Amino acid sequence: MSEPQPVYLSDYQPPAYRVTHAELTFDLDPANTRVEARLTVERHPDAAADAPLYFHGEQLALESVAVDGETLADNAYRHDDRGLTIARVPAAFTLETRVRLAPEDNTALEGLYQSNGMYCTQCEAEGFRRITFYPDRPDVMAVFRVTVIGDAEREPVLLANGNPVERGELEGGRHFVTWEDPHPKPSYLFALVAGDLECVEDSFTTASGRDVTLQIWVEAENLGKTDHALASLKRAMRWDEETYGREYDLDRFMIVAVNDFNMGAMENKGLNIFNSAAVLTHPDTATDAAFQQVEGIVAHEYFHNWSGNRVTCRDWFQLSLKEGFTVFRDQSFTADTNSAALKRIQDVAFFRTAQFAEDAGPTAHPVRPDHYIEITNFYTLTVYEKGAEVVRMLKNLVGWEAFRRGSDLYFARFDGQAVTIEDFVGCMAEASDEDLSQFMRWYHQAGTPEIDAHGEYDYVNAEYRLTLRQRTPVTAGQQAPEPLHIPVRMGLIGTRSGHDLSLTLGGEACGKDTVLDLREAEQTFVFTDVAEAPTPSLLRHFSAPVKLHFPYSREDLAFLLTQDSDGFNRWEASQRLAMLALDDLIAAHRNGVEKVMDTRVIEAYRTLLNAPEEDRAVLAEMLRLPSEACIAEHQPLVDVDAIHAAREFVRQSLGFALRDEFMALYQASQSAEPYAPTPAQIGRRSLKNVALEYLMAIEDEAGIEHCRAQFDAGHNMTDVRQALTLLVHSSRDDLSAPALRAFGEKWAHDPLVMDQWFSIQVSRPQGDVLDRVKYLMEHPAFSLTNPNKVRALLGTFAQNRINFHRLDGAGYALLADTVIELDGLNPEMAAGLLTPLTRWRRFDDTRQALMQAELERINERSLSANVYELVDKALG
Ligand code: PHE
Ligand code: ZN
């Protein structure tokens, strides 16, 4: 097999032939589904009259091809493993094809496949070519009419995009439904579902009075788990009307839950398909975090109806056009409906850990990549989350009103079109009259920019001079990076008064909180009339996706922790403070010196516990230590053991020193209220469970009793899961084993709860984890073909840093073996699982060698393009 070849953005050409109408008929059968396509095709006006027609098609058994009703002889076309070529075709004609496929054998979960016996599709990005021959690219938009034929008993429900227009009985116990979607759409938004499903129905009246039927389709046993998704959907629909002026545009909106799904969910027009984990909730089975995630994903997919579907991407290099914008929209929705500070803290904590790591590794790429081998490898944190950060900066730069005008202009001007990131930013520039040309570099340059900040207070002249120096590291395949346009939101806090000072910059008053436009490699901002020596609060609300360095002392940070008026930066101070202590302890561990806990950190925590934040959820985040992965991002070379030891030491030191405070907090946070996923309750549970974690870190006897009681009470999954985690992660087998057994037996019937049961045991710090993973891979509830199971067991294991990075290399070998096996079943999942190994250069020599050897072992195999591309970059 030849090496997979990259595709380049600079090679983009419009399609020579496009489809305007697609009429599809599916006659479903697990082993032998027949797909008939009748496509209305036109030549592009700029294409040559003798341009050959080339349509994508993979893994299709072709039975017949006809042009304008004439069946083609075998030598009138060419069919290879990538597609179908017809040398000469008219300028406008009808193409009819008939193909066969076997959904039951489709373990890649792209195209048409079966999950728990039901049929479903996944077409983004290039899955439609596994269904029929088609120009499977987003700049070809057609109106679809789809007939689905199935067995009336086994598949009583037959769904596709749009509205049902016809249904009827057929011979042999078969029946059909025909669907029409009036909105032209690219093939990646096509969807079909068939099976024995039941639905929960509701309705929504749009601002202009259109009645929309809302349906969530699930297997019968899950009927009691749809309330939260449905309520979230209605909130999202209203929010998009009120915030962006966007209304829904069909008579029905459907969501289907499927067990086997590679991603979270998919925004197919009018028929969203969801991973069951991203839609089903119940207080007994889903945690607060899961409830929040469901709300966010339901909103995200719904918002795509405009940002993605009505206006779509010209090509897949523009992926962030729809994803960055839509993530920004769903983040804003969650911030508006819950606690804005909490949402920002959670998003940033995740972003700085995971996206920074991606940006610092061999797969670093810009928000808009300029080449790729396999597009499914580019559904990344950079495209999604950094893309959202870039849109957020745009909004902050031009202001909400201009941003909203720009968004209206974008949707009006490009409705029904497939466009580029320049088109989007162009609308923002036009609506705001800003020059955004330098800003565009955010889309082209990879790597995390760093800002070195330093400040000086001049008592005599009452001036504060803040100097900011920016640099973007050189990443793979990139030219010398140029300075970015970075919005730095900041304030100055009077160190004596503890208040935000009024700011005067260049003779102009600019309030107590301002945004500095950093555009040069180095810039100095001189604030005048600064009445007292200030402590700067920089990059408030994480106003740009950068690393900001400022030589804060521990005293500065303890001050900011309570005095900063920006809730996000109070949390940031807590993290910086913890990080300083951790740095010292990591060094002590490496040097074999006795570890001593910094009492200033303990006192800062004590202050927090005694004069608490009003927002309990935010306080809980302030009390939570940075994760091992997050700490690792701050180290030049990752020392797995030192990081773990240092973090444990801090947890225990805080636990011992503040035991009574944590106990009091735990007891004060108890409540017997019936469960509701409200911000107030979530905040209270979060705080209670952080307190319990510190008590369990020191294995306090009374704490252990609380933990057991919380587990036994079974009040809700948030509390049960935390209690179970703490028991299983404790050093005591008498706590761990019975709880794990009881939970596993109680929930054996529920796959989503079993996912949690798998994760909890393989994230524990004890040395038996590798054996446990191997043992659990044989468990009846585990399956290598179910992505949720693979993530729960192997994905979680690879995040368990001390166990995955064992010095005997057995963790790496297990992951590599699994990647190799999985690559034959589901390449997209295999590539996802491989990612931790690609970061091998961050570790010590011994581990580097072990990881590299595993990558090389994988590389010797015949690989999917997905895994090939990753391994190639990692070793390159
Ligand atoms: N477009 C989906 C989303 O973000 C993600 C997805 C991509 C799902 C590819 C399936 C396959 O919202
Ligand atoms: Zn999306």
pTM score above 0.95? yes
Instruction: Please report, as a single letter, which amino acid is at residue 380.
Output: T
Whether 532 sits among the annotated catalytic residues: the reply is no
Cβ-contact 221, 201 below 8 angstroms: no
Q: Which residues are CB-contacts of 37 (< 8 A; sequence separation ≥ 6)?
A: 22, 23, 24, 95, 96, 97, 98, 99, 132, 133, 134
Ligand 1, atom 6: nearest CA belongs to which residue? 266
What is the ipTM metric for this complex?
Answer: 0.99
User: Where are the extended beta strands (E) located within 9-91?
Assistant: 17-27, 33-43, 53-56, 61-67, 70-71, 78-79, 83-86
What six digits make up the tokens of 827?
């390449």
297 CA to middle of ligand 2, Å?
Answer: 8
Residues with CB under 6 A from ligand 1: 122, 124, 263, 266-267, 300-301, 323, 379
Helix, strand, coil percentages (3-state) for the chain, rounded to 5, are: 45, 20, 35
**Ligand 1, from 297, 302, 379: best to mutate by most atoms within 8 Å of Cβ?**
379
Residue 178 three-state SS: strand
Query: Which ligand approaches the C-alpha of residue 272 most closely?
Result: 1
**Ligand 1, from 110, 266, 272, 331: best to mutate by most atoms within 8 Å of Cβ?**
266
How many CA atoms lie within 13 Å of 772's alpha carbon, on the beta-carbon side?
A: 23
376 CA to middle of ligand 1, Å?
Answer: 10
**Ligand 1, from 120, 123, 126, 263: best to mutate by most atoms within 8 Å of Cβ?**
263
Query: Which ligand approaches the C-alpha of residue 263 most closely?
Result: 1
Ligand 1, atom 2: nearest CA belongs to which residue? 266
User: pLDDT tens-digit profile of 57-77?
Assistant: 999 999 999 999 999 999 999
**504-505 sheet: strands from edge to edge:** 508-509, 504-505, 522-527, 463-471, 450-458, 547-549
379 CA to middle of ligand 1, Å?
Answer: 8
Enclosing H/E stretch for 455: strand 450-458
Catalytic residue among 295, 301, 358, 389: 301
562 CA to middle of ligand 1, Å?
Answer: 41
Ligand 1, atom 9: nearest CA belongs to which residue? 124
Query: What is the per-residue pLDDT for 549?
Result: 98
Query: What is the per-residue pLDDT for 478?
Result: 75
Query: Which ligand approaches the C-alpha of residue 787 most closely?
Result: 1
Parts of the chain with a pLDDT under 50: none
The number of helices, as runs of H, and strands, as runs of E, in the chain is 30, 33
Helices 567-591, 599-610: inter-axial angle, 10-degree rounding: 150
836 CA to middle of ligand 1, Å?
Answer: 21
What six digits make up the tokens of 633?
């991002």
Query: What is the per-residue pLDDT for 79?
Result: 98
Atom of ligand 1 nearest to the CA of 297: 12
